């Protein structure tokens, strides 16, 4: 029965793809093989389109008994390009019917990420009180530059066909990296609210509108938290505070970054705070003060002083910013730091300190950069090393991005010995960034270690053991 149901669903999906594509003037390829869900490598519980490249889910919304999922889709090929929105529906979030092309690219724009709302009270005027519209708010990436603005499309038949608004774009910005609107209804002010990313500026802006067409800037947030990657795909969600005799609500601002994850690639971070319909204010972070100690090097001078340089990777002195093509560097102290990417990742060399006596139990330092390749059993190629008697006794590398954070070596067994610090870049495609090398009685800890071992996001939530949070769904209905 399961096989029969899957095959029947696949045949229906193929028919709907053809019908909807024709109705929407779509560009789904004709004669494509009918998907059976019996393909050898096709997931059974994770949605996949019958063919071609897909990416981010967009416009997740529930309406008239159906869960709608739109997604970034190339209807013409198996790589990024011709970006449009595909569409699938489900009644149980497990079994999906693919409806094919929803909002198509054309000769003027491609369709980047966004969201969908059900305009229950027809504030937009696209529908009627009896038949309210589904409205998609998406980032229109203009061709050929991909400069982004916010645009609308609407549907009056439960998402089966879509019409682009003739007044697009409804929101523009001088900054072309302006994308990923996530729109919801805010009842206290009876306005639609749009968090949207100014990606390269590492900011989230908040706009309001009575009708989805006319938008007013209310406030902005950032740069804050992880800023090594660009800001993308924000979301703002109310969460109830659980606890005795409280009705407090906090707001969770999710900000994705790309790249910028500690392990490389994309990542998510979140901030907890308050939102009043105009501005989001994050709760204060608990500041981290590293253990005090004896500074071995802070790299604030114009040269490396008594340190010995070989090769070209480290230049003639400390860096004060990224090199050409390098992403912004964050987390350093003062204005100077070591950057082995001079002029690029191909540069190689060493930077070695004069000898010093180990007098405390820990050596702490700020480190960033990528050590590639980093294969088990092989020495690192972009590392900071502790040498005793000319031999490497401790070694560390960066976190995979340009965000400096603390690492520490326990050297309690080496107290009294003479040592040197050597920063090495032998990587053809990697580099290392170093700052603030100190000897201290205690170990400095990284941000992920201070989050009790939980990794994968940056949060400004203050430690407060008496308060826990319960997420609640946001409603995308007009008031």
CATH code of the domain containing 305: 2.60.120.260
Average pLDDT over residues 71-86: 97
Average pLDDT over residues 111-123: 98
Average pLDDT over residues 231-245: 88
Bridge partner list, 138: 114, 151
Indicate whether 317 and 267 sit together in one domain: no
Indicate whether 200 and 310 sit together in one domain: no
**Residue 254 pLDDT > 90:** yes
**Residue 364 pLDDT > 50:** yes
Average pLDDT over residues 379-402: 88
Indicate whether 84 and 59 sit together in one domain: yes
Residue where a domain terminates, one of 282, 307, 322: 282
Assigned domain for 477 exists: no
Indicate whether 329 and 368 sit together in one domain: yes
Question: How much of the chain, in percent, has pLDDT values that exceed 90?
Answer: 68
Give the torsion sign (CA, 88, 91, 96, 98).
negative
Assigned domain for 386 exists: yes
Assigned domain for 176 exists: yes
Assigned domain for 473 exists: no
**Residue 236 pLDDT > 80:** yes
Average pLDDT over residues 217-246: 87
Give the torsion sign (CA, 342, 345, 346, 351).
positive
Find where tokens 């980032």 sit: 139
Question: Which residues are known to be catalytic?
Answer: 56
**Residue 280 pLDDT > 90:** yes
Assigned domain for 235 exists: yes
- Mean residue pLDDT across the chain: 85
Indicate whether 274 and 302 sit together in one domain: no
Residue 266 pLDDT level (bands cut at 50, 70, 90): confident
Assigned domain for 23 exists: yes
Assigned domain for 478 exists: no
pLDDT at 62: 97
Average pLDDT over residues 47-64: 94
Residue 378 pLDDT level (bands cut at 50, 70, 90): low
Residue where a domain terminates, one of 231, 257, 282: 282
Query: How many structural domains compose the chain?
Result: 2
Residues of the domain holding 209: 2-282
Indicate whether 202 and 158 sit together in one domain: yes
Indicate whether 55 and 90 sit together in one domain: yes
Indicate whether 97 and 156 sit together in one domain: yes
Give dist(CA 415, CA 283) in Å, integer: 42
**Residue 454 pLDDT > 50:** no
Indicate whether 317 and 383 sit together in one domain: yes
Whole-angstrom CA distances from 166 to 170, 361, 427 are 10, 68, 53
Indicate whether 360 and 332 sit together in one domain: yes
HSE of 240, CA atoms in CB hemisphere, 13 A:
10
Whether the Cβ atoms of residue 452 and residue 397 lie closer than 8 Å to each other: no
Tokens of 290: 């590293």
Assigned domain for 468 exists: no
300 vs 399, higher pLDDT = 300
Indicate whether 306 and 411 sit together in one domain: yes
CATH of the domain at 261: 2.115.10.20
Q: DSSP for 96-149, please give it.
A: EEEEEEEE---SSEEEEEEEEEE-TT-TTSSS-SSSPPEEEEEEEEETTT--EE
Give the torsion sign (CA, 475, 103, 149, 323).
positive
Residue where a domain terminates, one of 282, 315, 336: 282
Residue 363 pLDDT level (bands cut at 50, 70, 90): very high
Residue 34 pLDDT level (bands cut at 50, 70, 90): low
Indicate whether 70 and 186 sit together in one domain: yes
Residue 10 pLDDT level (bands cut at 50, 70, 90): very low
Choose the weakest-confidence range: 75-79, 148-152, 160-164, 368-372.
Answer: 368-372
């Amino acid at each position: 029965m399961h096989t029969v149901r899957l095959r029947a669903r696949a045949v229906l999906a193929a028919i709907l793809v053809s019908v909807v594509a024709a109705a929407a003037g779509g560009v789904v390829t004709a004669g494509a093989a009918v998907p059976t869900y019996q393909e050898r490598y096709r997931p059974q519980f994770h949605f996949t389109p019958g063919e071609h490249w897909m990416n981010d889910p967009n416009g997740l919304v529930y309406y008239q008994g159906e869960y709608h999922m739109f997604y970034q889709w190339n209807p013409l090929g198996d790589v990024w390009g011709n970006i449009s929105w595909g569409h699938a529906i489900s009644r149980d979030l497990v079994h999906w019917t693919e409806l094919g092309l929803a909002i198509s690219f054309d000769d003027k724009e491609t369709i980047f990420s966004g969201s969908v709302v059900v305009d229950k009270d027809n504030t937009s005027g696209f529908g009627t009180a009896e038949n309210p519209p589904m409205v998609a708010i998406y980032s229109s990436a203009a061709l050929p530059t991909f400069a982004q603005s916010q645009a609308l499309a609407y549907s009056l038949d439960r998402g089966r066909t879509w019409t682009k608004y003739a007044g697009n774009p409804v929101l523009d910005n001088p900054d072309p990296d302006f994308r990923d609107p996530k729109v919801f209804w805010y009842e206290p002010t009876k306005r639609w609210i749009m968090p949207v990313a100014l990606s390269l500026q590492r900011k989230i802006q908040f706009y309001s509108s009575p009708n989805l067409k006319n938008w007013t800037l209310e406030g902005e947030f950032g740069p804050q938290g992880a800023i090594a990657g660009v800001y993308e795909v924000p979301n703002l969600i109310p969460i109830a505070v659980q606890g005795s005799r409280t009705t407090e609500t906090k707001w969770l601002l999710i900000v994705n970054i790309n790249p910028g994850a500690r392990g490389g690639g994309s990542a998510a971070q979140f901030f907890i705070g308050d939102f009043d319909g105009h501005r989001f204010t994050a709760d204060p972070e608990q500041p981290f003060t590293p253990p005090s100690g004896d500074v071995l090097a802070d790299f604030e001078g114009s040269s490396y002083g008594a340190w010995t340089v070989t090769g070209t990777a480290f230049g003639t002195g400390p860096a004060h910013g990224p090199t050409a093509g390098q992403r912004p560097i964050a987390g350093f102290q003062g204005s100077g730091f070591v950057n082995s990417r001079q002029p690029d990742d191909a540069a190689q060399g060493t930077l070695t300190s004069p000898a010093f006596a180990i007098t405390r139990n820990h050596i702490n330092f700020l480190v960033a950069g990528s050590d590639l390749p980093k294969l088990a059993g092989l020495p690192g190629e972009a590392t900071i090393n502790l040498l005793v008697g000319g031999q490497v006794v401790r070694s560390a590398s960066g976190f995979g991005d340009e965000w400096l954070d603390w690492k520490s070596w326990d050297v309690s067994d080496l107290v009294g010995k003479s040592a040197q610090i050597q920063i090495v870049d032998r990587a053809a495609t990697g580099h290392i960034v170093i700052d603030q090398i100190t000897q201290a009685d205690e170990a400095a800890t990284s941000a992920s270690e201070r989050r009790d071992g939980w990794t994968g996001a940056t949060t400004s939530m203050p430690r407060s053991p008496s308060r826990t949070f319960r997420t609640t769904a946001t409603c995308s209905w007009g008031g």
